[in-house]
Amino acid sequence: MSTAMYVRVSTQQQSQTQTIEQQLERLQHYAKTQNWEIQPEQIFRDDGYSGARLKRPGLDQLRDEVAMAKVERILLTAPDRLSRNFVHQTLLIEEFQSHGVRVEFLDRPMSEDPHDQLLLQIRGAVAEYERTLIAERMRRGRLRKLQAGTLLPWSHPPYGYSSSLDHPRDAAGISVNPVEAAVVGEIFNRYTQPGMSLAQLSKHLYDLGICSPRGKRAWTSGTLRLILTNPVYIGKVFANREQSAPAQQRRSPLQPVGERGSVRLRDASEWILVTQIEAIVSPELFETVQIKLQHNRQTAKRNNKTHNYLLRSLVSCGCCQTACTGVTRNQKYRYYRCRQKSEVKRLKEGKSCSARYTPAQQLEALVWQDLCHVLKHPETIAHAMERLQDGQWLPQELQARCATLHKAQKSLQQQIERLTQAYLAEVIALEEYRRRRADLETQLQALTTQERQLTAQSHQHIEMTQLAQGAEAFCHRIQQGLEQATFEQKRQLVELLIDRVVVTQEQVEIRYVIPTSLRGEQSRFCHLRIDYFGEHLKPELSAFGFRLPNPETE
């Protein structure tokens, strides 16, 4: 029987104190007493990974080995080494057992006896409770230190400053880095010049050969904005400026949403002034930069309505998966251009996108013609609306969130049942039972409230498509004004019905928000792709006499 070992510690500090080696020594000694041979490749370890997360390289590798039937037994020192989250722990054990793999713990041997199973589940719940309690204590302790000014809100100082190597979060050890401070001053002063934008500022720093804080040749607009908006450069160190938020949908839907999530700025009233340090720029210069940032944001090209682009913010490059922007040549020739053709770094390195400029007039005519064709043939829309009623066409984010809530509710209900069983088995006292049950019921009520909110949100999404319900009546009503529609009316209809237009060389792919293709059910929206057409009707630009010139050479 093939046996694997799994060991884990939560922090690098623990890993340095030989906790991993201690676990391995115990496991190997036990395996030797059982006459089990353990090969080095059958030892899976995660040094410095939290037990609250499932995403661990060693654990992922172990799960892959189990799925490929290469392991028949898994040996661990204790259940909390597998996971400190009760739901995750149960999930992993059930996953391993479903593949016929036995899971053995040295500290708390597990059998198939219902009593042992109950105790294991209770211990898993207690481990999760302990982790939550420790995290809350750390949060409150950190908050008190921040309010007292004895702890800086960062482990690495901002660009332009240096900190003590021994005490990086001690305010007394912060000093100005002369070289980096000169760059910060250049960034602030240069940005105040007339006509200067973040993109132009990035190009200026690139030309000067100044590397970014991460040592890259090119400065991103995001890095420059973070520097220009950070009040630390006027000597004020704030904590609690940002809060975690779910990952935002990227501008180009051809790119996946990141797993790490995102952050958003809190209201200034929630900021905590930790301490004051030496300033690099004056408050007057900082305020001038903030005003210009706001002005540039309002007058940015993406908000420029001088030239009408029917497909503004809807066109993507099929070659590099990024969004396209509208540009005008000689005040009369309009094009959609891939953003990576104008990025400073790619231009300097000769790696700009190879996609050619797309003539806006011809692309817009092609898309509008196809949209009219879809609206004049409502049978596909009517068929999709029949499936809409059961909710399967909700955006993927809502579906995933609803599924997560259902799983969490089921888990809490099971925990309440197990807690009741523990009380009836006299494992816990009545007072402890009432307290824990009250906590679980509070969590369950919160999940129920969230579910109601999501249900209301899903109803709002369905209401957005009520124009298309009764598809024939809707399409016939729209048809009457298609030929005489103004630009504003066309723009409204395009924004309502089209999610993305992907241009790849001489082929155009139109992705409709309307669910008209059975193949689109797993997409974020249910798109009408090019497979909607027959082979002889695919909307290729060349078939419409659509030639892709290059304005840089013609």
As annotated, the active-site residues are 10
DSSP assignments along 81-133, one per residue:
HH-SSHHHHHHHHHHHHHTT-EEEESSS---S-HHHHHHHHHHHHHHHHHHHH
Strands 333-338 and 3-8: unpaired
Calculate the CA 506 to chain-centre distance. 32
Residues 205, 187 contacting (CB under 8 angstroms): yes
Residues whose CB falls within 8 Å of the CB of residue 150, separated by 6 or more in sequence, listed in order = 170, 171
Burial class (CB in 10 A: 0-12, 13-18, 19+), 357: buried
315 bridge partner residues: 501
Burial class (CB in 10 A: 0-12, 13-18, 19+), 26: middle
Residue where the block lists tokens 């970014």: 212
CA distance 233 to 230: 6
Strands 324-329 and 242-245: unpaired
Helix, strand, coil share (%) of the chain residues, nearest 5: 50, 15, 35
Which of 231, 228, 227 lies closest to 276, judged by CA?
Answer: 231
Which of 412, 406, 408, 417 lies closest to 439, judged by CA?
Answer: 412
Cα dihedral 387, 389, 390, 392, rounded to 10, equals 60
CA distance 51 to 495: 45
**Per-position b or e across 228-237, b if 16+ CB within 10 A of its CB:** bebbbbbbbb
